[in-house]
Chains A and B, each alone.
Chain A
Amino acid sequence: MPKVMSVNPTQWCGQSVERVEDAALLTGRGRFIDDLGVKPGTLFAAILRSPHAHARIAAIRADDARKLPGVAAVLTGPDVTRLSASLVVGVKAPIECWPIAVDRVRYVGEPVAVVVAASRYVAEDAIDLIEVDYEPLAAVVDPEQTLDPAQPVLHDGLKSNLASERAFRYGDPEHAFASAARRVSVTIRYPRNSCTPMETYGLVAEYDAAEDAYDVLANFMGPFSLHAVMARALKVPGNRFRLRTPPDSGGSFGVKQGVFPYIVLMGVAARATGRPVKWIEDRLEHLAASVSATNRVTTLEAAVDADGRVRALAWDQLEDVGAHIRAPEPATLYRMHGNLTGAYDIRNVSVRNRVVLTNKTPTGLNRGFGGPQVYYALERLMQRIAVELALDPVDVIRRNLIPSGAFPYRTATGALLDSGDYMKAFEAALADGQFAELRERQQKARAEGRLYGIGVVAAVEPSVSNMGYITTALTPEERRKAGPKNGAQATATISLDPLGSVSVHVSSVPQGQGHRTVLSQIVADELGLKPADIRVVTDFDSARDAWSIASGNYSSRFAAAVGGAAKLATDKIKAKLARMAAAQLNVGPDDIEFAAGKVRARGNPDNAVPFSRLAATSHWSPGLVPEENQALRETAFWSPPELTPPTEGDEVNSSLCHGFIFDFCGIDIDRVTGAIRIDKYVTMHDCGRILHPGMVAGQVTGGFAHAVGAAMYEEYAYGEDGSFLTGTFADYLVPTTMEVPEPVILHVETPSPFTPLGTKGVGEGNCMSTPVCLANAVADALNIDSIDLPLTPAKIAAHIHDAERAPPKAQATAPLAGKGRALRGSGEARVNVPPETVWRMLLDPKTLEAIIPGAHGVEKVADTHFRAEVTLGVGPVTGRYKADIKLSDLDAPRAVTLTGVVNGALGDARGAGRIKLTPVEGGTQVTYDYDAEIGGKVASIGGRLLDGAAKVVIKQFFAALVRHTGGAKPGLFARLFGRGA
């Protein structure tokens, strides 16, 4: 085992120093991508996106858009396939993945055309002028249904929507299950969500035709393994694809990995136009089509002893990556592969992993990356074991935790848990977090009749990903063919300038975490300087900086890997400086120390040289310094030897470091609204050595807030037809100060023996532990065995509210509730003419033109087939649509079915309505019911309003019918506005 590298007693590390980043950010002088100027002549892009979840593109007419003044180009699929290559796909399957739809759209929001124009405003004007003919195809959104052979197959290269399947076996799970005292299982459906950084994607792409080279500035965050994917797609060698990042980035949480297809897309646009192209994603684009965490269906079963000791786990994971298996997927599924036993000592595991495609946005990195999905299943299971065996959930965890003294501990599935004392942290959390007091509080609350639940969760938080874990998706044979993949290269460069000041550069691409501050602390400690003496540069340039495929900002790798590499680079330059100083001060190099801005003889502080003078020497007087001692610039590359490739037995050490988390909480549920109040939340972390307590606290509270969002508020929701339903921040609900309480944060510190500074990652743990902790508390409060996220009030209230009394008679025929964005309704109207007259009117284009709201012309295609141009509006929201209406089931003059499709810029609707005409005294009673599905823009951004809007439009139709027939009897008109219409 490698031993902990000795760390000097430090002064700056461990302190919550003020961040060097903050003064600029607080005064409006940050330099985010959209804050930087662009070259004269830069064009601005906007993207036309698919309103359909699945459709064939029959035609795209963009001539009007191209003619619009200010428009430089309109690019569609064929332009992109001509100038680039498909993005490589991470599984062995004959499928392509383009950054724009080619012939077919497979999710709402998929790019269909790119307009490049003089401004974003004009580009959006041009988008409005593009006409696309779609031939809608059946869509599938559910990961279980997508495996049904009757469902449409998304990619022609595949026989089904199953893109990857692997089975694994560790230990002897069959025997453990066969001999188990009890078997307990859970099935969970983890929903889609995303950490939605406040800054959206942005980039400026340039193409130099003379050198056939691309230069892209983008708020990409890594991993830079994707640099290779992008360069290949742009069909240039890596050295002709220069990728740079701006100095500041407005958060990422994994999400900004997903800008990479747009880098390719806009690279192509820059090449096609010969001009720099800038694209800033807007929030609607971001919510619909950036990237999201995977949704997953997991069945997890445990073989359990009577006392709650778990002997084996059987995992069945069904991972939904959306419409394309876009790099680095299926990484979400395999990132946790070494950690499928969580914090527990369980030696027997079987796993079935399947990756499926559905008509939803492709998935990618998102804070927690695979952890939330795994721990939701594992820790729900542990809670169920406690309930089914009538044990205290705390005792079930205690009984199964990896014992103290067992570290480093190799899990059944291959992870090498570097360090920890889980039992100690667990007991400390119970004591310091006052768990016993929480139990009393619960008893008191329950005695008062309140719904009060307690949740407990233990988790291992992996960090510093092994770049080889993803190859676990391949069979050992496939891996042998492809060559082994492993490691996690971290880089850092330190340089001394002619005035002897110190600069540090890393390729960690921070997204707001304060890397510059922490690196200045680390280097200042090593060199005996102040953090303010160290200037750290973190904006990245692939043409100039030291980097490798693992560079970037993900898998919580900064403190452990990059901070460590910075220490190693500093050590290198320090050794040279020490030798130089030794010669000047007439002592041995081992007797040199760096302190108080000086390099001096240990034990004789007066025998010293100022650091800056020594540091400048190799610039001004290189002749005085032996070449091997010249200190100008040093780069350290560090990849831990523990990150080995997957074994022949599919064991994989998927991450280098493993923190420990133990959380518990008490929640109170309102009996009327079903709303959850988080009464107390305690989170214990062992994240190794802490370099900056303030930043660690910020990672914990920030991750906790994301987790509260994922647990209770956030979901990327889709209708059954694949329409996207949460296209604004009014429907995708990000928690605010009102929703996020302050957690109690506890720490123990067990340094990692595998990292240069003893540090581990801490950024993602609460995203893994907190959602299931809250869910366990809800399950406890309601005494229910199954609950999925998000924990919405309506979902919870369904377990609380008494059975509903039957509706009063008048409402006995109340319309069925809609499902997803399916709308249903009914209504009636009374007109002054007999049914025969109404019948003729419904079949007459002239009358239809008069009564269809906003019709600009009705064309009779056949006796029972009409086409119309209509302007439909609800309040101020109006749009022009093309309607295609067919009549069927004609029962003259009594009944007819209208089937229609309406398409326009604001969305599309498909529906059917049955109209019945009944003769009554003095006229006709018209009754109708309808059933419609609405998709596209209005479904994404105005879902809340659709039912009402449909009513308004239908009401307009019948009001016009009544008017056209000469009106209704006095007093009857009002009945039009009764129930349903």
Chain B
Amino acid sequence: MKPARFDYIRAGDIAEAHTALAECGKDARVIAGGQTLMPMLSMRLVRPKVLIDIMHLPALRKIEASGNDIRIGAAVRQAELMAWPDLRDSLPLLKAALPWVGHAQTRSRGTVCGSVAHADPSAEIPLSLLALDGAVELSTRRGKRRVAANEFFTGMMSTTRADNELIEAVLIPKSQACTGYAFQEFGRRHGDFAIVACAAVATDKSIRLAVGGVADKPTLRDWPALDGTALTDALDAFAWELDARDDLHATARYRRELVRQMGLATIEEARKCRA
């Protein structure tokens, strides 16, 4: 269980990372925290010709306010975001979701953007990004573009990032007044891939529920402020639309039921904590 051979580039600045990506394209992989990429390298599921290490770029290691958004650079580790003093006020959903990401020992290395780049359908950070209308900032040596989360994730471990693009940061809108946020998850063990993860955003006029672990990418629905059977009917329809499958850890039917019941509970929790 040893990786195949690859060259290693430690980018000294963002321009170097761009140059390396431009030259190597699909033969290159960016390594940040490496918590997902490294097992794939060791299992030889992924065999890049070049690894580009972006963890030594101070410019990417920042959490900063950018207008209404919080901008989290590509080298910010999950543990650093968890320890960020403004997290509770600015990003309450992330505050609730981050403890579900792996374990303390992997969050200390894994990055926020790395999780987004990997686009695992069970992962908490892509789910939260989607639920909050976040965006991904992609750059090449020619320039930058911003892709909304709902366009960025296209399927199983698949995104709209082009081979020469670097994920420089994610942008997550700050929490809004009179809005409640909640996150719930169920896995076989704590720290496992979610069987179902739910992120809810609620105001007095609207409900949003985003679900991970069921479809091949995080998926959301927006509803007006439904209640009672209208809400349970909406959840039931959503549960079916996610096209759940059986796998080793849960049946499709079980996943649908968790979407209905845990989805409802998450929405109720979001409503309760509406500021």
Contacts and interface: CB of A to CB of B under 8 A. Distances in A.
A730 B44 contact: no
Nearest to B257: A801
A359 B265 CA distance: 44
B189 A798 contact: no
B205 to A, nearest CB: 25
A941 B43 contact: yes
B250 interface: yes
A877 B43 CA distance: 10
Interface stretch (A236-244, A917-925, A948-956): A948-956
Contacts of A484: none
B46 interface: yes
B240 A807 contact: yes
Interface stretch (B61-69, B77-85, B87-95, B155-163): B155-163
Contacts of A905: 44
A730 B193 contact: yes
Nearest to B255: A794
Contact of B45 (A738, A810, A877): A877
B248 A875 contact: no
Interface in B154-204: 154-159, 186, 188-193, 195
A834 interface: no
B241 interface: yes
B52 to A, nearest CB: 13
Contacts of B257: 672, 797, 801, 804
A265 B116 CA distance: 44
Contacts of B195: 793-794
B240 A942 contact: no
B13 interface: no
A462 interface: no
B56 interface: no
Interface of B: 1-5, 29, 37, 39-40, 43-48, 118-122, 154-159, 186, 188-193, 195, 216-217, 236-237, 240-241, 243-254, 256-258, 261-262, 265
A808 interface: yes
10 contacts: A124-B1, A792-B250, A793-B254, A815-B243, A874-B156, A876-B45, A877-B157, A945-B157, A952-B216, A979-B243
Contacts of B246: 817-819
Given A672-B258, A875-B119, A793 B243 contact: no
Nearest first, the 8 closest Cβ-Cβ pairs linking A and B are A948-B156, A875-B157, A948-B216, A282-B1, A794-B254, A811-B240, A794-B250, A817-B246
A674 B216 CA distance: 24
Contact of B2 (A121, A797, A949, A980): A121
A876 B37 CA distance: 9
A793 B47 contact: no
Interface string A914-944: 0000000000000000000000011001111
Interface string A769-802: 0000000000000000000000011100110010
Interface centre among B1, B40, B46, B217 (most CB of A within 10 A): B1
A156 B43 CA distance: 35
Interface centre among B217, B253, B265 (most CB of A within 10 A): B253
A733 B261 contact: no
Given A811-B240, A945-B157, A717 B245 contact: no
B27 to A, nearest CB: 10
Interface residues of A, number: 65
A909 B188 CA distance: 28
A681 interface: no
Contact of B262 (A121, A672, A941): A672
B29 A730 contact: no
A938 B44 CA distance: 11
Given A793-B250, A944-B247, A738 B240 contact: no
A861 B243 CA distance: 38
Given A793-B254, A798-B251, A875-B157, A947 B245 contact: yes
A735 interface: yes
Contacts of B265: 672
Given A811-B240, A951-B156, 14 more contacts: A121-B2, A124-B4, A124-B44, A284-B43, A674-B254, A736-B189, A792-B249, A792-B250, A804-B253, A808-B240, A814-B240, A818-B247, A944-B249, A947-B245
Interface string A93-113: 000000000000000000000
Given A797-B257, A798-B254, A805-B236, A877 B40 contact: yes
Contacts of B191: 736, 738
A878 B40 CA distance: 11
A738 B43 contact: no
B63 to A, nearest CB: 26
Contacts of A121: 2-3
B237 A124 contact: no
Contact of B4 (A128, A738, A951): A128
A794 B240 contact: no
Given A738-B190, A878-B47, A794 B243 contact: no
